[in-house]
Amino acid sequence: MVKIDLILARHGETSANAQSIMQGSLVNLPLNELGRRQASALAEGMKDRNVDWIVTSVLDRAVETARHVAKYHPSVPFTCDERLNEISWGEADGKDMMTVDPIVKPVTQGWVSGDFDAKIPGGESANECKDRILAAFASILNEARKNKHKDVLVCIHGRIMRVIMAALVDKGLRTMERFTHANCCYHHIQVEVDDDEQTMPDPWTLKFEVVRIDVRDHLMSLQKPRI
């Protein structure tokens, strides 16, 4: 068996985050000034940690965040995978959260109650996210095993982090909301995979262990002092 450590990091802040705009896969913005500082803080926190491979979605905010970390690990491979993109919020994407709450809230409440096929018109369901995430992680684990990458940074998005943690750790989607996150926080999980390269890993059947959840230690210097 081969043990693989996965650091699941959320991207830094964008103008959409700052302005409470729905930001799914249909919105592709760079980091704002605070987001760049958050990404730098994440990079500082990761600079002395072993990193064998960096994987990110193809969306600019995730790639830019991961590039900050890569400055301290310039020799490691860097891969972008569209299967790791944020969920699509369909017709709610790019709109003010308060304005679209009447169409978003019934969907997210449906997920909590077990209706994982619920989705916003033109958007993506929790089940659809889960399916592409499981496929992406099968590939990630397979490549990590073949190339002996024991420490993998995966830079992604908030809702996708919830889907990953619920699906891989809890083996379901009902618990998505228990996993909190902030921009440039990370979850650290571990998994053991069979070292037989003839067998494609099935993430659904593997036991993912939690090391730490919602790690924000590296972001403490960015917090505003209390008055």
64, 68, 86, 149: the catalytic one is 86
Check whether 15 is labelled as a binding-site residue.
Answer: yes
DSSP code string of the chain: -EEEEEEEEEPPPBHHHHTTB--STT----B-HHHHHHHHHHHHHHTTS--SEEEE-SSHHHHHHHHHHHTT-TTS-EEE-GGGSPPP-GGGTTSBHHHHHHHHHHHHHHHHHT-TT---TTS--HHHHHHHHHHHHHHHHHHHHHHT--EEEEEE-HHHHHHHIIIIISSSSTTGGG----TT-EEEEEEEE-S-TTS---GGGS-EEEEEEEE-GGGGGGSPPP-
Check whether 11 is labelled as a binding-site residue.
Answer: yes
Check whether 127 is labelled as a binding-site residue.
Answer: no
Query: Is 86 one of the catalytic residues?
Result: yes
11, 157, 181, 218: the catalytic one is 11
Check whether 212 is labelled as a binding-site residue.
Answer: no
Check whether 149 is labelled as a binding-site residue.
Answer: no
Check whether 197 is labelled as a binding-site residue.
Answer: no
Check whether 61 is labelled as a binding-site residue.
Answer: yes
Active site residue ranges: 11, 86
Binding residues for substrate: 10-17, 61
Binding residues: 10-17, 61
